[in-house]
Amino acid sequence: MGEGSLSQDEIDALLQGADDTFDLSSLSQSSTSGADALSPIDRDIISDIVGSSFQIAGNTLGTILAKNTRFMNPATESSNHSEIQKEFGSKMVCLYSNLSGTLAGKVSLLMAQENAAKIAGVMMGGMTPPGQLDNAQLQTLKDSMSPIIGTVTAQIGLKLGGAMSGTPADITLVESPRDLQLPDDQNLVKTALSLNIDGVGSFKVYYLIGSNMAHSILDIQKGGSQKSQASTGGMNVAVPGGGFGAGGAGQSSVGIKGVNFPSLANAGAGPGQTNLNLLMDVQMALTVELGRTKMYIKDILGLGEGSIIELDKLAGEPVDLLVNGKLIAKGEVVVIDENFGVRVTDIVSPTDRLKGEK
């Protein structure tokens, strides 16, 4: 071949090298874009935790609006700043809060301005405000939705076995992408929910968290599931062994009946049981305690219509159920038709009640 020309072997080698370079580059881009993508199972876990927390927050919003209110149909997907800015870069309202505790970071709640105006209209006791939201309507919306973010935050913390709180939510009108207040992570996780308000309609709201926070939720949740499965597996081994030896029987008795219950039942047998039955129709006062606080006398004397008293419990934190001043259970406030109610979430054990009396 002439000087400066390439042989066929050299040409093939160069082409092979170009192909390898292209494959490595595309592989790198693919791994970067998919590094924070959630699997279908992960999306279901996030949807379940966020969705159930918003269900409880719906009771809070319903109380504020004096209407039956429900958050439904959570759907979670991975996203990023660019996609969110493109999808929600105008005609939106953004509420945001900085969390601390079990999880830390910024969270955002987005909704269309026209839908935000509907909520503000209900709060202000009139029809849906026409046109753009003004400052008064924004403040009203902030007052109604800030407890919702607080309730969701507290509930997520409880579901993860810890405690979380957040700063009071701020609010901003989104007229351009730069107005959005998003979590700091470049990669985000978006959960869309349907908000249904009786007499107003149904529309979408979007809850955004950072990818790091989402993966922390998954790590905690999956770790708890593995511990639960390990504990359940241990019980399954002990129960069949109960019929073959005293050791197995002892483990089965303690695991199923709990400490002290057999002796209490035996002590109550005989004539004393009849006396106990006579008490079954006696009415006792059940008190639901939302919270407590201490105030100076001058502040108490200064109370009037419209005064607000801050209690020592966070929004969404369980309330106490007391009988004769003794704590017997904890629960969450719900709305039943036009009345308040309490859904019991935890029964205080007799042992804990005795400890509380000491």
**DSSP states of 221-277:** HHHHHHHHHHHHHHHHHHTGGGGT-HHHHHHHHHHHH-SSHHHHHHHT-THHHHHHH
Same domain, 50 and 150: yes
Same domain, 61 and 161: yes
Domain C-terminal end among 219, 252, 271: 219
Same domain, 215 and 289: no
The percent of the chain in helix, strand and coil, each rounded to the nearest 5, is 50, 25, 30
Can you tell me the mean pLDDT for 207-220? 93
| Of 142 and 272, more confident | 142
173 vs 135, 170, 210, 258, CA distance in Å? Answer: 10, 11, 21, 56
* pLDDT tier at 10, thresholds 50, 70, 90: low
| pLDDT on residue 135 | 85
Taking the chain, what is the end-to-end CA distance rounded to the nearest angstrom? 102
Residues in the chain, total: 358
Whole-angstrom distance, CA of residue 196 vs CA of residue 71: 6
In a domain, 346, yes or no: yes
Can you tell me the mean pLDDT for 179-198? 93
In a domain, 168, yes or no: yes
Among 20, 38, 25, smallest CA distance to 211 is for: 38
| pLDDT on residue 263 | 47
Domain C-terminal end among 219, 253, 268: 219
Same domain, 65 and 175: yes
Same domain, 67 and 194: yes
On the 0-12 / 13-18 / 19+ scale of CB atoms within 10 A, 316 is buried
In a domain, 264, yes or no: no
Q: Is the pLDDT of residue 268 over 90?
A: no
In a domain, 265, yes or no: no
Domain C-terminal end among 198, 219, 240: 219
Can you tell me the mean pLDDT for 96-118? 92
Q: Is the pLDDT of residue 330 over 70?
A: yes
Whole-angstrom distance, CA of residue 145 vs CA of residue 58: 10
Q: What are phi and psi of 85, to 5 degrees?
A: -65, -35
Same domain, 200 and 303: no
| Of 353 and 95, more confident | 95
Range of the domain at 299: 284-358
List the CATH number of the domain containing 345. 2.30.330.10
Same domain, 212 and 303: no
Residue 123, amino acid: M
| pLDDT on residue 125 | 75
| pLDDT on residue 12 | 63
Instruction: State whether residue 326 is helix, strand or coil.
Output: strand
| pLDDT on residue 277 | 65
Same domain, 192 and 297: no
Q: Is the pLDDT of residue 236 over 50?
A: no
Angle (nearest 5°) at CA 349 between 347 and 351: 165
Q: Is the pLDDT of residue 62 over 70?
A: yes
| pLDDT on residue 106 | 94
In a domain, 351, yes or no: yes
Can you tell me the mean pLDDT for 180-208? 93
* pLDDT tier at 29, thresholds 50, 70, 90: very low
* pLDDT tier at 312, thresholds 50, 70, 90: confident
Whole-angstrom distance, CA of residue 167 vs CA of residue 182: 15
List the CATH number of the domain containing 112. 3.40.1550.10
Share of the chain above pLDDT 70, in %: 70
The label of the residue with tokens 């993966």 reads 215
| Of 152 and 334, more confident | 152
Q: Mind spelling out the 3-state secondary structure of 31-96?
A: HHHHCCCCCHHHHHHHHHHHHHHHHHHHHHHHHHHCCCEEEEEEEEEEEEHHHHHHHCCCCEEEEE
Let me know: does 330 contact 321? Beta carbons within 8 Å.
Answer: yes
Q: Is the pLDDT of residue 231 over 80?
A: no
Q: How many domains does the chain contain in total?
A: 2
Same domain, 54 and 183: yes
Same domain, 165 and 77: yes
Can you tell me the mean pLDDT for 156-162? 89
On the 0-12 / 13-18 / 19+ scale of CB atoms within 10 A, 242 is middle
Tokens of 294: 């201490």
Same domain, 126 and 212: yes
In this structure, of 1-10, 16-25, 274-283, 343-352, the range with the lowest mean pLDDT score is 16-25
Among 41, 46, 32, 33, smallest CA distance to 190 is for: 46
Residue 10, amino acid: E
| pLDDT on residue 248 | 44
In a domain, 210, yes or no: yes
In a domain, 207, yes or no: yes
In a domain, 258, yes or no: no
- Single pTM value for the model: 0.57
